[in-house]
């Protein structure tokens, strides 16, 4: 160990979190309808597999784009040699158009302000490098995406200070919570460089209200700090209230070319809206020239391959395809979310009302044996090992409340037939008699078509959490914070 760097041996990566441990358990024993029907179903991963038929049919109809051809001529050599870290102009133009489209064309983006990165993971880390020094802090509302511990802190040395949001107001951001987090950072002698929000939220599956967006803008203006808005789920808002991008707020306030205009940055990616996390396509959008210039240089460490850029530039320029894709994707997610909520309600589990993303924040406090984090982990272990579902406990999202808060990701349900028996779906202490405490969970709603049986008995069974037509991937991750 002594031969290795401190970075490698420190534990700020968050690898020990139940979020990552659940993934590891799934890897060891993945569910397969035929080969491993008693395996674990991955519901702790925010994957959107609902519209692969649309993507694949587009690919079949556009062989030139797939075969590195343009107007019938091969451009293989051009693509193989391309290594400009500014990215392909055609792709950047198509991506900003797509970003505008999913925001109802209320915001126009300039492709000169866009930096391509290998996914939102890389975009968030790059922004940390641009905006903060080791030991500086960013404030994040809780509960937050467990991957942020790795993405924001690990290699940069930046600290996260939580903005404690509570179930009593549906985890909404308040002025006092922002101020308390700022003071907490000061108490710890940390210099606050900004606030990072996800809008729509991972793991809550809700969009920020105009009131919250205004609060954030006023707060960062008063403190003279940055705001990063991770809008990776902006294309999958399927119910009212709708989504408002931070850029729209600034435009409505006519803040263009003011100081605040330079302090706000958007993170985006095609991992969720287009369901292609394996392609590693992300972006930073900033009106701050210095940030764009520095991030462009840093993007050398995580470029998007030129053949991916080429393929997607053709796909995203096809407006008939994108319009149909976006609306169909929203429709299918909404349908699936409704089935999931209904199924959970049938087994006595309530959820935070959500309108976006791939999650369901589930209240399972009544299933806890005691009002402790240990009890939450206990129930999480039962769900993963006895029921066979990997979900994320609320604690892995740094949820602040002492009551057990759980989270069920609607991640990878695979394909068909998730109505497996799973020890008959019966887990001691789950779904039986009601207990006093309450837990929230977050459930992902984004997988492919699954097996049967949302309607069912009071026991929590895989079958019951997997509606027959819509919910293919549901990551049930219980996190207790
Ligand atoms: C809020 C948020 N930001 C960033 C990421 C990382 O996305 P990517 O696959 O584009 O790196 C995720 C993935 O789940 C996420 O939920």
Q: What is the DSSP letter of 73?
A: E
pLDDT at 20: 80
Under 8 Å between Cβ of 264 and 303: no
Average pLDDT value for residue range 230-250: 95
Q: How far apart are CA 335 and CA 333, in angstroms?
A: 5
Identify the residue with better confidence: 304 or 1.
Answer: 304
Strands (DSSP E) found in 242-356: 264-269, 282-286, 350-351
119 lines ligand 1 (CB under 6 A): yes
**pLDDT tens-digit readout, 52-107:** 999 999 999 999 999 999 999 999 999 999 888 899 999 999 999 999 999 999 99
Q: Which domains does the chain have, with CATH numbers?
A: 6-50+328-462 (3.90.1150.10), 63-317 (3.40.640.10)
Backbone torsions φ then ψ of 210, nearest 5 degrees: -60, -35
Q: How far apart are CA 35 and CA 44, in angstroms?
A: 21
Which one is catalytic: 163, 232, 341, 377? Answer: 232
**pLDDT tens-digit readout, 282-313:** 999 999 999 999 999 999 999 999 999 999 99
199 lines ligand 1 (CB under 6 A): no
**pLDDT tens-digit readout, 200-222:** 999 999 999 999 999 999 999 99
Average pLDDT value for residue range 235-254: 94
Under 8 Å between Cβ of 440 and 362: yes
Average pLDDT value for residue range 28-48: 90
Residue 439, CA distances (Å) to 72, 333, 346, 375, 435 in order? 58, 24, 17, 10, 11
Candidate from 43, 120, 444 with most ligand 1 atoms within 8 A of CB, to mutate: 120
Quote the ligand 1 centre to 397 CA distance (angstroms). 14
* CA 154 to the chain's CA centroid: 19
pLDDT at 47: 87
Identify the residue with better confidence: 3 or 92.
Answer: 92
Q: What percent of the chain has pLDDT over 90?
A: 66
120 lines ligand 1 (CB under 6 A): yes
**Nearest CA-CA partner of 366 in 385, 388, 344:** 344
* Residue owning the nearest CA to atom 4 of ligand 1: 120
Average pLDDT value for residue range 16-38: 87
Ligand 1 atom showing the smallest separation from residue 282 Cα: 10
Under 8 Å between Cβ of 390 and 379: no
User: What six digits make up the tokens of 411?
Assistant: 């991640």
User: What six digits make up the tokens of 275?
Assistant: 């369901």
pLDDT over threshold 70, residue 405: no
Identify the residue with better confidence: 313 or 426.
Answer: 313
Under 8 Å between Cβ of 283 and 119: no
Under 8 Å between Cβ of 19 and 392: yes
Q: What is the DSSP letter of 51?
A: T
42 lines ligand 1 (CB under 6 A): no
Under 8 Å between Cβ of 447 and 52: no
Q: How confident is the model at residue 1 (pLDDT cuts 50, 70, 90)?
A: low
Judge if the upstream peptide bond of residue 141 is cis by omega within 30 degrees of 0.
Answer: no
The structure's pTM equals 0.86
Q: How confident is the model at residue 21 (pLDDT cuts 50, 70, 90)?
A: confident
Under 8 Å between Cβ of 272 and 358: yes
Which one is catalytic: 92, 153, 193, 272? Answer: 272
Backbone torsions φ then ψ of 392, nearest 5 degrees: -105, 125
């Amino acid at each position: 160990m002594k031969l290795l760097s401190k970075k490698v041996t420190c534990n700020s990566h968050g690898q020990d979190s139940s979020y990552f441990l659940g993934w590891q358990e799934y890897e060891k024993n993945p569910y397969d309808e035929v080969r491993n029907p008693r395996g674990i179903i991955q519901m702790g991963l925010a994957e959107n597999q609902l519209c692969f038929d649309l993507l694949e049919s587009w690919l079949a109809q556009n062989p030139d784009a797939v075969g590195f051809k343009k107007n019938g001529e091969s451009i293989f050599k051009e693509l193989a040699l391309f290594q400009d870290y500014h990215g392909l102009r055609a792709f950047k133009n198509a991506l900003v158009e797509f970003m505008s489209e999913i925001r109802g064309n209320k915001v126009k983006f300039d492709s000169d302000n866009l930096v391509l990165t290998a996914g939102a993971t890389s975009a968030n880390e790059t922004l940390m490098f641009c905006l903060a020094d080791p030991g500086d802090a960013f404030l994040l509302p809780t509960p937050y995406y467990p991957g942020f511990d790795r993405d924001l802190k690990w290699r940069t040395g930046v600290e996260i200070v939580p903005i404690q949001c509570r179930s009593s107001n549906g985890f909404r951001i308040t002025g006092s919570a922002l101020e308390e987090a700022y003071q907490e950072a000061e108490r710890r002698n940390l210099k606050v460089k900004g606030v990072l929000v996800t809008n729509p939220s991972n793991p809550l599956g809700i969009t920020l209200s105009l009131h919250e967006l205004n609060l954030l803008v006023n707060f960062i203006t008063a403190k003279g700090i940055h705001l990063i808005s991770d809008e990776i789920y902006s294309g999958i808002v399927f119910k009212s209230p709708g989504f408002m991008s931070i850029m729209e707020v600034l435009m409505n306030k006519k803040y263009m070319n003011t100081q605040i205009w330079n302090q706000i940055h958007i993170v985006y990616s095609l991992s969720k809206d287009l369901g292609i996390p394996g392609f590693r396509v992300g972006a930073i959008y900033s009106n701050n020239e210095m940030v764009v210039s520095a991030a462009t240089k840093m993007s050398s460490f995580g470029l998007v391959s030129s053949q991916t850029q080429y393929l997607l530039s053709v796909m995203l320029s096809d407006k008939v395809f994108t319009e149909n894709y976006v609306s169909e994707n929203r429709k299918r997610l909404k349908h699936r979310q409704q089935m999931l909520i209904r199924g959970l309600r049938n087994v006595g589990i309530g959820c935070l009302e959500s309108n976006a993303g791939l999650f369901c924040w589930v209240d399972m406090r009544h299933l806890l044996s005691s009002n402790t984090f240990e009890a939450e982990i206990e129930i999480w272990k039962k769900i993963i090992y006895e029921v066979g579902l990997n979900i994320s406990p609320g604690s892995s999202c740094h949820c602040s409340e002492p009551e057990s808060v759980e989270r069920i990701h609607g991640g990878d349900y695979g394909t068909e037939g998730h109505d497996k028996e799973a020890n008959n779906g019966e887990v001691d202490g789950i779904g039986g008699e009601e207990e006093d405490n309450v837990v929230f969970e977050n459930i992902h709603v984004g997988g492919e078509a699954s097996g049967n049986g949302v309607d069912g008995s009071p026991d929590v069974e895989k079958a019951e959490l997997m509606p027959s037509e819509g919910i293919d991937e549901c990551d049930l991750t219980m996190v207790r914070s």
